[in-house]
């Protein structure tokens, strides 16, 4: 019965071959460092879920942002936990992504034919850092405010167009409601959309090309 | 030979179990706390308190008298002031009935029209009598009554 249903579905969806390509593909005999990419992926998913949960209460407006965050942490049942996961997950995300990059680097897995996997990876790292940078402002407390003041000032020291870039980042010359709104929009729309797109390419290549073997000493 | 295929199967099974276990842990660790997190605000009981309406002497005999006050409310992270209006009716200057101005149909605000000696609801043309009973229209029950008390010449109602 169940098998019949599965066959019926597979005839129309062809999901079995997709399943096989993803989960039953052949991999060389590798080591635990090869799980770092998957660990990053799992964490990215949890960040997505906890982030979506936070947007149910968070308000990106200077008048209410801080109060809404305090409400989440002190008034809502399990709010402190959801926020805590997202908060610590953000740091773990950067650490894991870099660890994954290092494993790819030291095992020489970035070489032909995996250059594009590496390049999409570089952009993924930038996105992960972008998440951290934009997310840090959102609680709109003193630490957030001054960290972003400093962070955007750093953009300002770029030669020539620095001052202009600073104004683009802040949406004006000073940190304001405009800054908070655009950081929020970037954090919950632009970066997730970019992450999904690049991750799609990244994982497609991992599956299409197959994972690299651990290099031999005499290679 | 057979040993190595056994090993293959075990490896695959191990991965399967590991993925399901990790997925389960993540799903449980986020999914379960997500439930109280999502329904939390709905569970919160509105606090009950006595609201001072004003001097009882302002209540006219046999005419529903409107009392308007503002009360401080806290919704989520916002402290706001909310308008609170009720009609107070007395026939003998001793016993009062304090009626909500919220239509029992779908919640629009009713208004006392002196000429017609009735309350009207503009949303679906309901008519309530002076004592709050339904005269015409869709409302399923009379206007809600509040518990009240009179102290030092002031009338208070219990809200919540
Ligand atoms: C959001 C961040 C990222 C996620 C979720 C992610 C995910 C993955 C996954 C699941 C794999 C499979 C193999 C493994 O786990 O090691 C992989 C492979 C790979 N990743 Fe990433 N990655 C990310 C960032 C990066 C970065 C920053 C780089 C380098 C700049 C990179 C370069 C590569 C390369 C070259 C491979 C192929 C490795 C091989 O074939 O052996 N990735 N990635
Ligand atoms: S809400 Fe008053 S009549 Fe429908």
Kindly report, residue by residue over B71-128, the tens digit of the pLDDT. 888 888 998 888 889 999 999 888 999 999 999 999 999 999 999 999 999 999 999 9
Q: Residue B141 pLDDT more than 50?
A: yes
Instruction: Return the half-sphere exposure (C-beta side, CA atoms, 13 A cut-off) of residue B24.
Output: 6
Predicted local distance difference test score (pLDDT) of residue B5: 56
DSSP calls for B131-143: TS-EEESS-SSPP
- Domain ranges in chain B are 1-43, 50-158
Contact B143 CB / ligand 2 (< 6 Å):
no
Predicted local distance difference test score (pLDDT) of residue B80: 85
Nearest to B100 by CA among B144, B56, B136: B144
φ, ψ of residue B158 to 5 degrees: the values are -95, 125
**pLDDT < 70: residue spans in chain A:** 219
Q: What is d(CA B133, CA B104) in angstroms, rounded to the nearest whole number? A: 11
CB atoms within 10 A of CB A83: 21
Q: What is d(CA A100, CA A42) in angstroms, rounded to the nearest whole number? A: 13
Residues of B in contact with A42 (CB under 8 A): 22, 26
Contact A67 B33 (CB under 8 A): no
Predicted local distance difference test score (pLDDT) of residue A174: 94
Query: Was domain B50-158 assigned CATH 2.10.240.10?
Result: no
Residue A129 burial (C-beta neighbours within 10 Å; 0-12, 13-18, 19+): middle
Nearest to B37 among A45, A59, A78 (CB): A78
Task: Please state, rounded to an integer, the average pLDDT across all residues of chain A.
Answer: 95
Cα–ligand 1 centroid distance for A37 (angstroms): 5
Contact B121 CB / ligand 2 (< 6 Å):
yes
Q: What ligand 2 atom has the least distance to the C-alpha of B121?
A: 2
Nearest to B30 among A46, A64, A70 (CB): A46
DSSP calls for A16-56: HHHHHHHHS----S--GGGGHHHHHHHHHHHHHHHHHHHHT
* Domain architecture of chain A: domains with CATH: 31-209 (1.20.810.10)
Q: Residue B6 pLDDT more than 80?
A: no
Contact A77 B78 (CB under 8 A): no
Q: What ligand 2 atom has the least distance to the C-alpha of B108?
A: 1
- Name which residue sits closest to atom 41 of ligand 1, judged by CA: A212
Contact A49 B30 (CB under 8 A): yes
User: Which of B13-22, B51-60, B93-102, B109-118 comes out lowest in average pLDDT?
Assistant: B13-22
Predicted local distance difference test score (pLDDT) of residue B1: 41
Predicted local distance difference test score (pLDDT) of residue B2: 44
Predicted local distance difference test score (pLDDT) of residue A219: 57
Give the closest-approach CA distance of B95 to chain A in angstroms.
41
Cα–ligand 2 centroid distance for B102 (angstroms): 9
């Amino acid at each position: 019965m169940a098998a019949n249903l599965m066959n019926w579905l597979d005839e129309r969806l062809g999901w079995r071959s997709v399943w096989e390509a993803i989960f039953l593909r052949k991999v060389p005999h590798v080591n635990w460092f090869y799980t770092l990419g998957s660990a990053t992926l799992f964490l990215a998913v949890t960040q997505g879920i906890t982030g979506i949960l936070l947007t149910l209460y968070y308000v990106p407006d200077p008048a209410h942002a801080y109060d809404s965050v305090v409400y989440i942490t002190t008034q809502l049942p399990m709010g402190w936990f959801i926020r805590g996961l997202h908060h610590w997950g953000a740091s773990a995300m950067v650490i894991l992504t870099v660890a994954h990059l290092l494993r790819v680097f030291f095992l020489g897995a970035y070489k032909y034919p995996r250059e594009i996997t590496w390049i999409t990876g570089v952009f993924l790292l930038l996105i992960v850092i972008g998440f951290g940078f934009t997310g840090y402002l959102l609680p709109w407390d003193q630490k957030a405010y001054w960290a972003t003041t400093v962070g955007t000032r750093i953009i300002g020291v770029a030669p020539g167009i620095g001052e202009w870039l600073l104004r683009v980042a802040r949406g004006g010359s000073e940190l304001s409601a405009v800054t908070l709104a655009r950081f929020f929009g970037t954090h919950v729309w632009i970066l997730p959309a970019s992450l999904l797109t690049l991750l799609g390419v990244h994982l497609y290549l991992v599956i299409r090309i197959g994972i690299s073997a651990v290099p031999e000493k005499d290679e | 030979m057979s040993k190595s295929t056994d090993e293959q199967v075990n490896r695959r099974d191990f991965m399967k179990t590991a993925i399901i276990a990790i997925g389960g842990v993540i799903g449980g660790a986020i999914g379960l706390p997500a439930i109280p997190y999502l329904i939390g605000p709905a569970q919160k009981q509105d606090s009950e308190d006595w609201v001072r309406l004003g001097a009882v002497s302002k209540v006219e005999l046999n005419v529903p008298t409107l009392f308007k006050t503002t009360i401080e409310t806290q919704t989520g992270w916002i402290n706001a002031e909310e308008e609170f209006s009720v009609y107070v009716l007395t026939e003998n200057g001793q016993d009062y009935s304090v009626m909500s101005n919220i239509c029992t149909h779908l919640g629009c605000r009713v208004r006392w029209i002196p000429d017609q000696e009735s309350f009207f609801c503009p949303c679906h043309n309901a008519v309530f009598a002076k004592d709050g009973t339904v005269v015409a229209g869709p409302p399923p029950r009379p206007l809600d009554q509040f518990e009240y008390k009179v102290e030092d010449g002031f009338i208070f109602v219990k809200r919540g």
